[in-house]
Amino acid sequence: MLNLNFFTAAAAAFTLVSGVSAGGYPVNMMRRNQEPSQPSCTNFTPFKYAGCFKDLSSPRALLYTGPSTQNMTVETCVAFCKGNDYEYAGLEYYRQCFCGASVNGPQVDESYCSFPCTGDKSETCGGNDYINIYQDPTFPVVDDSTIADYQPLGCYSEGTNGRSLAWRQNQLSTTNLTVDECLFACKDGGYSFAGVEYGQECYCGVVLGNGTLPVDSSRCNLKCTGDSSEICGGRSTLNLYVAQDLESSQPCDGGSSSSSSSSVPPTTSSSPPSTPPSPPTTSSSPPTASTTPTTSPTPTTSSTPTASSTPTTLSTPTASSTPTTSSTPTASLCTSTYAVTPTPTCEYKCGNWCSTPLPTWSGKTSCLSAVANCEVQIASCFKNAGFPASLNCFAFSSWCSSVSNYCGGYCPGGSCSKSGCTSKYPPSGQPSQPTETYSTSVYTCPAASTSSAKPSTTSSSKPSSTSCVPIPTNSNICSQPHNPSKGYSSTSPVGSIPLPCLTCNNVYSDYKKGNTLKLYSFADTNKCPSYSKSQPKQGCQDACDNQYDTCMDTYAQGCKSNSWRRGGSDTYSTASTKCWNQWNDCYSVNSNVNAGSRCRSWNSGWS
């Protein structure tokens, strides 16, 4: 393993060719360039016991796998995690040790953690899928609302033995990645290091892998997929960022033995087997880091392992039989547990196409906004479902009408909600929903108050780069042609296949690039083509082309295969003629289209 002197020399040499300060962040970062695992730490401030937590396994409560030994003790695990720069240490299933920068799981009653440690039966080492967790009190409270504390380090090479940063953020879109999104993901996970690579990948970590060295900035040359004005690393190179205020105020300087003890949980009255069975096997590949908590805290009860309702002050538990003392005063800890439900990406499925889920609502106005969001996706269903599955898009259109009827019949009212609507009108072909997980924050309670509330933070008012809003269906800049003598009108297109909607761009980052207009031809708006304010004609021509292709692929093909059952009597030939005439008239009626005063600012001027 490369030592500190090597990295310091490398950083100093790089200063001569690139101008990077060897006395700033990079040199400090090189000191931490020691992944994989390092020796356990000695002579550190004792960790504080945080509680018993449920280990949901995917992802694990603590992501970094430590030693598993027949001589496991609380002191052994805590010293290992301290030596590897992690804020949390956890013990599970008699002898397993885990470390992490954050906790992914709900706190539960202490009775669930009752297995004695293999190295000291007076200590508790979790249970079967339950883990005793300890926290390093020298880490600061994380302010999740800001990423201003991350500072750029420059362009760095990937590690020579594994990744420079261990935890890839797979929950982020590779087609719309920005630096800010990556930094927020790393902040949510409590990681002091963040890196973007290959234009579309985000990684986080608390240490850097061996061989991570500064390189010339020209090697980080790939634009971010979500913002072409930003650079997101290169091929096997990363743009690195560090937030030193996420690091311990007393980092470990090395050591090869563990001698410091920690506060341990109270002993329980249960008597587990004296000889533990073999522990369950775990995956050797690191799981994906947790996503941002999106829901409010849920209540805690002592009967079942559920999340705590509010941050709970934890009393200092009984010390182990051979504790060491520390002159550093320790404050009580607070925890907040959040249920984390991954955002569904599919709600109504037709062949190769699936709709983006409608937003939730609680009143008539927001319900009608959801209807608009539904109706604007109809054209994309016909375009992308594939024949003959695209014939089911008429059922999707009818479902949107049912949602509209629900808004008129049940809103306002006590049952006016999306869940009430979908139980009455369930979407077809709905895939299984993603599994709910948990994320727990353990932090030092505010010193000036005994309140259980987490300290307030200031959030930025800047819209997210992926912020989207419902699209009004009556805001199409393009016009449906009207020629009843040829088989279509402004309210009844050929085969009832609508003209895709061209209107304001609902993706903030794309709008800020000057693409004020968007053609909503895909369920995922990030895939939809966008246009400048001066290009409505091109947008409408593309809409006409999309409608023609769908008319031929669904209506004409349906007539040809005798699968069309919507009251028409067209043959493939007559249907094709109608599709072509409508397309030709569509170009004509939109030849002088103008966006006028629409879309002058983001999320306004829809009509």
| Candidate from 70-79, 120-129, 180-189, 284-293 with smallest mean pLDDT | 284-293
Give residue 433's pLDDT: 55
At 538 the three-state DSSP class reads helix
Query: What percent of the chain stands above pLDDT 90?
Result: 30
Query: What is the distance between the alpha carbons of residues 497 and 492, in angstroms, rounded to a whole number?
Result: 8
Name the residue type at position 167: W
* Interior/surface letters 493-527, b for 16+ CB within 10 angstroms, e for the rest: bbbbbbbbbbbbbbbbbbbeeebbbbbbbbbbbbe
pLDDT value, residue 502: 93
Element spanning 224, H or E: strand 223-224
CB proximity list for 39: less than 8 A, separation 6 or greater: 83, 254, 255, 256
State residue 418's pLDDT score: 86
Q: For residues 262 and 319, what is the distance between their CA atoms, to the nearest angstrom?
A: 7
Among 111-125, 374-388, 442-456, name the one with the lowest average pLDDT: 442-456
How far apart CA 171 and CA 71 sit, in angstroms, is: 37
Give mean pLDDT, residues 255-260. 42
Model confidence at 456: pLDDT above 50: no
pLDDT at 7 over 50: no
Ranges 18-32, 38-52, 318-332, 504-518: which has the least confidence = 18-32
User: Above 90 in pLDDT, residue 96?
Assistant: yes
Q: Which residue has the higher pLDDT, 98 or 436?
A: 98
The reported pLDDT for the residue numbered 120 is 94
Answer with the residue of higher pLDDT: 84 or 27.
84
**Cα 135 from Cα 74, distance rounded (Å):** 12
- Residue 58 tokens read as 């995917």
Pick the residue with more confidence: 315 or 409?
A: 409
Measured from the Cβ of residue 482, the count of other Cβ atoms closer than 10 Å reads 14
pLDDT band for position 208 (cuts 50, 70, 90): confident
Q: For 104-160, give the DSSP string.
A: -S-EE-GGG--PBPSS-TTSB--BTTEEEEEE-TTSPPP-TT--TT-EEEEEEEPPS
SS3 at position 560: helix
**Is pLDDT at 387 greater than 90 in this prediction?**
no
Q: Check: CB of residue 114 under 8 Å from CB of residue 69.
A: no
Note the pLDDT of residue 256. Answer: 41
User: What pLDDT is recorded for position 416?
Assistant: 84
Report, as an integer, the average pLDDT of 375-381: 90
Mean pLDDT for 395-414 is: 86
| Residue-level pLDDT at 272 | 44
Nearest to 137 by CA among 44, 73, 64: 44
Sign of the dihedral through C-alpha 267, 273, 275, 276: negative
Cis peptide before 412 (omega within 30 of 0): yes
Over residues 510-528, mean pLDDT: 88
Higher pLDDT, 98 or 7: 98
Least confident of 299-313, 355-369, 463-477: 299-313
Residue 548 confidence (pLDDT) above 60: yes
Mean pLDDT of 357-383: 87
% of the chain beyond a pLDDT of 70: 69
**d(C-alpha 398, C-alpha 403), whole Å:** 9
**Best CA proximity match to 313, nearest among 439, 445, 441, 440:** 445
- Mean pLDDT score, 12-38: 37
Residue 273: pLDDT band (50, 70, 90) is: very low
pLDDT at 449 over 50: no
Q: pLDDT tens for residues 581-596?
A: 999 999 999 999 998 8
Average pLDDT of the chain is 75
- Between residues 488 and 328, which one has the greater pLDDT? 488
| pLDDT given at position 84 | 86
Predicted local distance difference test score (pLDDT) of residue 580: 95
Is the pLDDT reported for residue 450 higher than 60?
no
- pLDDT band at 263, cuts 50/70/90? low
The pLDDT score that the predictor gives to residue 564 is 59
Average pLDDT in the 371-378 region? 89
What local confidence, expressed as pLDDT, does residue 527 receive? 86
Mean pLDDT over 490-514 rounds to 89
Q: Among 158-162, 257-261, 501-505, which stretch is predicted with the lowest mean pLDDT?
A: 257-261
Q: Does pLDDT of 115 surpass 70? A: yes
Confidence class for position 336, pLDDT limits 50, 70, 90: low
User: Which single residue is written with the structure tokens 């692929």?
Assistant: 553
pLDDT band at 269 (very low <50, low <70, confident <90, very high): very low
Model confidence at 279: pLDDT above 50: no
Q: Count other C-beta atoms under 10 Å from residue 462's C-beta.
A: 9
**Residue 442: band (very low, low, confident or very high) from pLDDT cuts 50, 70, 90:** low
Residue 221: pLDDT over 90: yes
Over residues 355-363, the mean pLDDT reads: 84
The b/e string for 412-434 (b: 16+ C-beta within 10 A; e otherwise) is: eeeebbbebbbeebebebbeeee
Average pLDDT over residues 542-566: 84
